[in-house]
Amino acid sequence: MASARYAFRDGWRLVVRHWGLSLLTIFTAMAVFYVIGASTLFVMNVRHIVSKLEDQLTIQAYVKPGVDLDALAKKISALEEVRDTKVITKELALERLRTRLGNQVEAVSLLGENPLPPSIEVRVDKASQVSNTALKIDVMDDVDDVVFAGPVAEKLSKVSNFAGQFSVVLLVVAFLASGVVLFNTIRISVYSREEEINVMVMVGATSTYVAMPFVIQGFLLGFAGALLAFLFVGGTYFSAIVKLKDMLPFLTFIESPQLLYKLGFMLVCCGATVSLIASLLAVEKFIKNAMEPL
């Protein structure tokens, strides 16, 4: 279609003619989308880490002497939020202590008879359920005492929730910011062409025809910004992960390249959507006015 070719050619001309403004817009969009991309990765990693830690969260229920361990384990498993239970006999407890102490194993042998109490190790579905479940187990007759990382569990689930909410807020703010910047840029090009638009409309151009180059201009800028942001995020992410793993060896991070491709796709889609909406809004009212009679 000839008019589509014209629109792209002219949209490109607009980008080139206002090259200073174009660069400024692309860099701003890039910064905004970088923030979006980086915060998304951050939140996903926090979630990932929290879920890993949650996996390791357990309740230790120490059992009164002479109780049937398997029966108690069954009873605890019956609780709704419990994922699984593991019976730790006196022997197993000693075994674990041995491995943990390593070459100090002699000290354990010195104790003579095994002094360790048997226990049941309980894992729950979510970190937030740990305290509650622990209470339920504690009131059972056969249970002597429970030990669990209550505050840690609660903090973890809070961190995860907060990271999620924070990222939503950030996403909205970043979206609006990039929208406003793109909107203003398109506005400026529209006004710089005010007379031309009036002439085009006077000789019979439809509003769509007149609007298209501006919409494409906005699209090109937003698209370029998002693409650059993606390249930057991708480039910095893996080197950051390597450093973080060095500093925090006990944490695990997301390392699949698929994740990055998905993120890139998301960023570019966001960029395209925001820029399309912003430039349509910027150009629509103006052209409507140009077609209105005196």
Partner 1 sequence: MDLQLSGVTKIFEPDIVALEDVYLQIESGEFVYLVGETGSGKTTLMRCVTREVVPTRGHISVGGYMLRKIKRYDLALFRRDIGVIFQDFALLPNLTALENVKFVLEIMGLSPKETTERASEELKNVGLWRRRDMYPPQLSGGEQQRLAIARAIVNTPALLLADEPTGNLDPSTADEIMQLLLSINAAGTTILMATHNPHFVDTYRHRVIEIHRGRVVRDEEKGRFDANGLC
Q: Which residues contact partner 1 by CB under 8 A?
A: 2-3, 6, 195-196, 198-207, 209, 288, 291, 293-294
Q: How far is the CB of 176 from partner 1 (least distance, A)?
A: 30
Closer residue to partner 1 (CB): 157 or 198: 198
Closer residue to partner 1 (CB): 89 or 198: 198
R_g of the chain computed on alpha carbons: 31
Closer residue to partner 1 (CB): 165 or 289: 289
Q: How far is the CB of 7 from partner 1 (least distance, A)?
A: 11
Q: How far is the CB of 25 from partner 1 (least distance, A)?
A: 21
252: alpha, beta or left? (left if phi > 0; alpha if psi -120 to 50): beta
Q: How far is the CB of 2 from partner 1 (least distance, A)?
A: 6
Please state, in angstroms and as integers, the Cα–Cα distance from residue 158 to each residue in 50, 53, 56, 63, 267, following that order.
Answer: 10, 13, 17, 31, 27
Closer residue to partner 1 (CB): 40 or 217: 217
Please measure the distance between the N-terminal and C-terminal CA atoms of the chain and give it in whole angstroms. 34
Q: How far is the CB of 194 from partner 1 (least distance, A)?
A: 12
What span, in angstroms and rounded, lies between the C-alpha atoms of 123 and 128? 12
What span, in angstroms and rounded, lies between the C-alpha atoms of 188 and 210? 15
Q: How far is the CB of 206 from partner 1 (least distance, A)?
A: 4
Closer residue to partner 1 (CB): 113 or 195: 195
Closer residue to partner 1 (CB): 171 or 200: 200
Q: Looking at the DSSP assignment, which residues form a beta bridge with residue 199?
A: none
Task: Find the length of the chain.
Answer: 294
What would the two tokens of residue 48 be?
């990932």
What span, in angstroms and rounded, lies between the C-alpha atoms of 207 and 204? 9
For residues 226, 232, 234, 237, the Cα torsion angle rounded to the nearest 10 degrees is -130
What span, in angstroms and rounded, lies between the C-alpha atoms of 212 and 186? 12
3-state secondary structure of 67: coil
